[in-house]
Amino acid sequence: MPGHYPGHSDEAFPEAFTLPAMPAQPKEKKPGQLPEESIRQFFEEGYIVVKDFFSESELEPCKKALEKLVDDVAQRLFKAGKISSLYEDCDPFHERLQKIDKEWPGAAILVIKNQVLPQAMKDIWTNERLLNVIEQIIGPNIAGNCVYNIRSKLPQHEPTVVPWHQDNGYFDKDAYSQLIPTAWIPFVNANEKNGGLQFARRGHKTGRTADHTCCWQGTWYIMLDEKEMKDTLDVDLEKDFRSVEVPYGGMVLFSNVIPHQSLPNVSNEIRWSMDLRWQDARKPPSFHGLKDHVVFRTSENPNHVIDWATFEAVDRTEVQLKAVEDLREDKPEEGFDTLITGPWMKIWEITNTNRHVVL
């Protein structure tokens, strides 16, 4: 792909993502910390599966919050006459959204677009034990990155099948040289059958952000070609692909330059998950100036109070849509807009257009 696309970079920053980036491990033992060899594995492999990290009491409120989110969407659609039933007789977690989306395709996207994190999920994002692990990866100055997602992966549902990519493909170039770790947390047992994750092992080792294209099939996702992975990231296409199973209560921690994808969900139930990100609070947010990060911890102030009000005053998906408002031909009904667009579409070659591609 030509090198003139704005996202292209020939620079490499292996020292930001591999073993040299591993901080000196805290001398003080804190709850939740992983063994040093596990942190080392994160920097060597680009990702790590952590089992049995969260308790039922931590995750159950998140599941209830997801059920509430689905109910909110159902009530909105029903009151507008867009669905004939509230489907309240269905299993609220595994089945209800499937029924709603079947009658009104796009209901699952309304869930995905939600940027108001329920309190239960903010509690996970700022969980003391989890932040102690993040400190092992990026140090004591920790901010929540503005890119986070609730994912409702329906069975046989194209809009939630995510192709190969590096997270950096969505960020701006400030991210190309800084580690922004992700925790992917499923609310079910995640595996190959229900749309679990697949990684290109050690695909982060060059420290490069490869060239991506946009957009995948009928979605808003960028794509990383396997040949590009091989040529730029030194990925062995025969040996390096790894599918990971993550049991309920576990998570995957991974780097923003490790290639990964989510597989199709060929089960009968929804694979619910969320992905949360953190970064060094002293570094730029790296999302095209659309939204700032939110500081969780600082080394200078152990009594830091999180400023949720300022952070939540900006809805990232709404800002993304407003940026292309004048370019849209359709005029969606307020509250029912299923279009997702963003600045990543302006930095990569457009090889496939669809209704989400508004430039």
pTM: 0.96
What is the predicted pLDDT for the residue at 68?
98
pLDDT band with cut points at 50, 70 and 90 for residue 323: confident
Residue 165's φ and ψ, nearest 5 degrees, are -165, 165
CA 263 to chain centre: 15
CATH number, domain containing residue 68 = 2.60.120.620
Which secondary structure element, helix H or strand E, spans residue 197, and what is its range? strand 197-200
Rounded CA-CA distance 60/71 in Å is 17
Q: What percent of the chain has pLDDT over 70?
A: 99
Q: Structural domain tally of the chain?
A: 1
> At 311, which amino acid appears?
F
Compute the average pLDDT of residues 236-256: 98
Which tokens go with 314?
């900006």
Residue 21 belongs to some domain of the structure: yes
Which secondary structure element, helix H or strand E, spans residue 182, and what is its range? strand 182-186
Pick from 243, 192, 247, 252: nearest CA to 52: 247
**CA atoms within 13 Å, Cβ hemisphere of 291:** 25
Residue 355 belongs to some domain of the structure: no
DSSP string, 136-168: HHH-S-EEE-S--EEEEE-TT-GGG---SB-GG
> At 91, which amino acid appears?
D
Residue 98 belongs to some domain of the structure: yes
Q: What percent of the chain has pLDDT over 90?
A: 91
Tens digits of per-residue pLDDT, 78-109?
Answer: 999 999 999 999 999 999 999 999 999 999 99
Residue 180 belongs to some domain of the structure: yes
> At 334, which amino acid appears?
E
What is the predicted pLDDT for the residue at 1?
46
Residue 336 reports pLDDT greater than 60: yes
Which tokens go with 207?
């420290």
Tens digits of per-residue pLDDT, 279-314?
Answer: 999 999 999 999 999 999 999 999 999 999 999 999
Compute the average pLDDT of residues 340-347: 93
What is the predicted pLDDT for the residue at 56?
98
Residue 132 reports pLDDT greater than 50: yes
Residue 46 belongs to some domain of the structure: yes
Residue 358 belongs to some domain of the structure: no
| Lowest pLDDT segment from 36-40, 81-85, 332-336 | 332-336
Residue 9 belongs to some domain of the structure: no
Q: What is the Rg, in whole angstroms, of the alpha carbon atoms belonging to the chain?
A: 20
Tens digits of per-residue pLDDT, 185-219?
Answer: 999 999 999 999 999 999 999 999 999 999 999 99
* Domain, as residue range, for 316: 14-350
Tens digits of per-residue pLDDT, 139-182?
Answer: 999 999 999 999 999 999 999 999 999 999 999 999 999 999 99
Residue 342 belongs to some domain of the structure: yes
What is the predicted pLDDT for the residue at 311?
96
